[in-house]
Amino acid sequence: MFVISNFLYAVAVVLRLFIYVEIFAVILSALLSWITPFRYSSFRQFVDAIANIVLRPFRRLIPPIGPVDITPMVAIFVLVFLENFVVRTLFDLAVRLR
């Protein structure tokens, strides 16, 4: 059972890291969108590419409200929920299987 426990623990750690990177990328992308001189920089394109992994599905579902795009806020709420529910559940399962 320790093999399954270690596997679940490793999955939880990787998933948590992915969620934190995505939250940081979404926030940074939203902040950089307010700054127009950096529109064509390679750094901004990189951050937008990482943030769009999560934002693209939400942008299909939620239309912009005038000039305001609320999809970053919704995406962060969903990512925080996933971190608090799925990742913690995986950690708890890993601990109980030891």
Q: What is the pLDDT along the chain (98 residues), one digit of tens a residue?
A: 889 999 999 999 999 999 999 999 999 999 988 886 666 788 888 999 999 999 999 999 998 888 888 999 999 999 999 999 999 999 999 999 88
> What's the pLDDT score for residue 36?
67
> What's the pLDDT score for residue 35?
81
Q: Token digits for 85?
A: 């529910």
Domain map of the chain by residue range? Answer: 2-96
Cα–Cα distances (Å) from 10 to 13, 32, 47, 83, in that order, read 5, 33, 26, 14
The amino acid at 94:
A
**Burial of residue 51, with CB atoms counted within 10 A of its CB: 0-12 exposed, 13-18 middle, 19 or more buried:** buried
